[in-house]
């Protein structure tokens, strides 16, 4: 939230008005990582900061299509308010929306002033605080993939893959992106100031990857949250749909959300680096790896949070399938890139692009904190082919299994906090219940004519 005094806020308003800004877009993440918010006229900003912007707390209990989960503090409590206050430290003009500046809001209980129990941003603050008790700070670099779709009224979904010609894997330019979508998007995101570094067309037609620079965990999550919202908005401007679904199409692969993690001490030294230890990795790095492996089944619920997520997994999918780690091996769940020194880091390849950045990074930091606190040791790194189930345990194969693993992992849930975990489990299990009663197009196609 803003720590600025009223005179400083007045100066800020005058400066924004001089830039032609007359609207402040205040957005905050819900449980699924989607952006909720309100456009506030500039002259109303002092009130929004002082009193907060009222939203129904039950928005945290509302699914993508509006279905509502029965979570304590929502319907049972009369659907009370939360107060969302702009965090002016995150304020930035929107390059593609003249006159509008965008900032992230923090959700508070208006009576107590405490964070809303379901607030993903505050959950991450809480978890990183646990790591800081050891005078350690998590540094995260996000990598996200998405699929771009064009309207197609003849398609059952109403959409078809943009630039669907085969090949063009890891290319740039018009051969894999005939309309120049990537360059426009990169330039807008650069102007937004969220630390975009590079991008390319990914493995499948219409699939793109854009990389973000590394920073402290909360800032990295803020930037990944904004990245996803911005990409979807820019696609809408083009008349297209950008989807971060794990596996949006039957004839293609999945979209990942990889996180590069390092940990620094109070003097900003990378504590994962140790040239005198095997593989150049310190004992702290080994403990962090072990924490991730030990809590991987539970982490899947946060990194792979949808029913669709588990259709991305399997042998030879370029997505991890087993709970393992390896040296520069993209078949492993935790890959150790070859850089050492200040570049020593872990690449956690578990996540898909539907993951809420705040929740995924909170789970990541929680597992690393537990591994370091327990001085846990990992098994030997895997090598070669990464999909031999004889070599390591499997990750959960469906959402229900991952949710059960999260509930059973008492160490991890203690760090995340029972109020959040209970709300998340109820919300996602309600999603499972709705799906189980829904007749899919696959079922109709498979059974209707012959049976």
Predicted confidence (pLDDT) per residue in 330-368, tens digit: 889 999 999 999 999 999 999 999 999 999 999 999 999
In this structure, of 50-59, 232-241, 357-366, the range with the lowest mean pLDDT score is 50-59
Return the pLDDT at 1: 52
**65-76 mean pLDDT:** 76
Confidence of residue 77 (pLDDT cuts 50, 70, 90): low
Return the pLDDT at 320: 87
Q: At CB < 8 A and 24+ separation, what contacts does 435-443 make?
A: 435/307, 441/156
The answer, yes or no, to whether residue 58 has pLDDT greater than 90, is: no
Q: 280, 232 in Cβ contact below 8 A?
A: no
In this structure, of 92-96, 99-103, 201-205, the range with the lowest mean pLDDT score is 201-205
Return the pLDDT at 45: 92
Q: Where in the chain is the domain with CATH 3.10.20.70?
A: 7-118
The answer, yes or no, to whether residue 78 has pLDDT greater than 70, is: no
Model pTM score: 0.95
Cα angle 206, 212, 217 (rounded to 5 degrees) comes to 130
Give me the residues paired with residue 261 across strands. Answer: 140, 346
In this structure, of 158-172, 207-221, 354-368, 369-383, the range with the lowest mean pLDDT score is 158-172
Interhelix angle 357-374/217-237, rounded to 10 degrees, is 160
**250-274 mean pLDDT:** 94
Segment (H or E) for 231:
helix 217-237
The answer, yes or no, to whether residue 415 has pLDDT greater than 80, is: yes
Nearest-10 Cα torsion for 443, 249, 297, 314: 90
Choose which CATH entry (3.30.230.70, 1.10.150.120, 3.40.50.2300, 3.10.20.70) describes domain 7-118.
3.10.20.70
Q: Which residues contact 386 (CB under 8 A, 6 or more apart)?
A: 320, 321, 322, 324, 326, 329, 330, 331, 332
Q: What CATH number has the domain spanning 126-416?
A: 3.30.590.10
Q: Are strands 241-243 and 257-264 parallel, antiparallel or unpaired?
A: unpaired
Q: 92, 75 in Cβ contact below 8 A?
A: no
Return the pLDDT at 232: 97
What whole-number distance in Å separates Cα of residue 139 and Cα of residue 412? 20
Instruction: Quote the tokens at residue 158.
Output: 């109403």
How confident is the model over 175-194, as pLDDT tens digits?
899 999 999 999 999 999 99
Confidence of residue 56 (pLDDT cuts 50, 70, 90): confident
Mean pLDDT of the chain: 93
How confident is the model over 31-48, as pLDDT tens digits?
999 999 999 999 999 999
Cα angle 372, 376, 379 (rounded to 5 degrees) comes to 130
Nearest-10 Cα torsion for 11, 14, 20, 22: 90
The answer, yes or no, to whether residue 76 has pLDDT greater than 90, is: no
Q: Where in the chain is the domain with CATH 3.30.590.10?
A: 126-416
Q: Work out the burial of residue 156: count CB atoms within 10 Å of its CB; fewer than 13 is exposed, 13-18 middle, 19 or more buried.
A: exposed
């Amino acid at each position: 939230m803003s720590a600025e005094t009223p005179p400083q806020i007045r100066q800020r308003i005058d400066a924004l008005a001089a830039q032609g800004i007359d609207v402040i877009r205040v957005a905050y993440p819900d449980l699924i990582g989607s952006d909720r918010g309100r456009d506030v006229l500039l002259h109303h900003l002092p009130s929004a900061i002082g009193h907060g912007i009222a939203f129904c707390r039950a928005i945290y209990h509302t699914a993508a299509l509006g279905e509502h989960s029965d979570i304590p503090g929502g319907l049972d409590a009369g659907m009370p308010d939360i107060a969302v206050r702009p965090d002016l430290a995150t304020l930035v003009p929107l390059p593609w929306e003249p006159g509008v500046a965008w900032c992230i809001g923090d959700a508070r209980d208006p009576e107590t002033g405490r964070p809303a129990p379901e607030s993903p941003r505050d959950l991450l603050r809480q978890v990183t605080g646990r790591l800081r008790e050891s005078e350690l700070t998590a540094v995260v670099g996000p990598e996200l993939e998405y699929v771009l779709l064009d309207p197609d009224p003849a398609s059952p979904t109403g959409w078809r893959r943009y630039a669907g010609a085969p090949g063009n894997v890891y290319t740039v330019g018009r051969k894999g992106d005939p309309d120049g979508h990537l360059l426009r998007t990169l330039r807008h995101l650069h102007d937004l100031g969220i630390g975009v570094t590079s991008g390319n067309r990914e493995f499948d037609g219409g699939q793109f990857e854009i990389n973000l620079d590394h920073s402290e965990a909360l800032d990295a999550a803020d930037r990944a949250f904004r990245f996803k919202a911005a990409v979807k908005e820019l696609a809408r401007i083009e008349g297209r749909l950008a989807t971060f679904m794990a596996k949006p199409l039957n004839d293609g692969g999945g979209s990942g959300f990889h996180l590069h993690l390092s940990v620094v001490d109070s003097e900003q030294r990378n504590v994962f680096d140790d040239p005198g230890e095997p593989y150049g990795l310190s004992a702290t790095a080994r403990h962090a790896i072990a924490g991730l492996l030990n809590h991987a089944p539970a982490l899947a619920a946060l990194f792979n949070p949808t029913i669709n997520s588990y259709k991305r997994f399997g042998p030879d999918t370029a997505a991890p399938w087993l709970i393992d780690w390896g040296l520069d091996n993209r078949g492993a769940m935790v890959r150790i890139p070859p850089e050492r020194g200040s570049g020593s880091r872990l690449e956690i390849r578990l996540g898909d692009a539907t993951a809420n950045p705040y929740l995924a990074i909170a789970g990541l930091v929680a597992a690393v904190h537990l591994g370091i606190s327990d001085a846990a040791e990992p098994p030997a790194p895997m090598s070669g082919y990464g999909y031999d189930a004889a070599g390591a345990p499997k990750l959960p194969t469906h959402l229900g299994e991952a949710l059960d693993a999260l509930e059973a992992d008492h160490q991890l849930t203690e760090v995340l906090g029972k109020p959040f975990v209970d709300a998340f489990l109820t919300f996602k299990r309600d999603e499972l219940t709705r799906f189980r009663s829904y007749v899919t197009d696959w079922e109709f196609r498979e059974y209707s004519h012959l049976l």
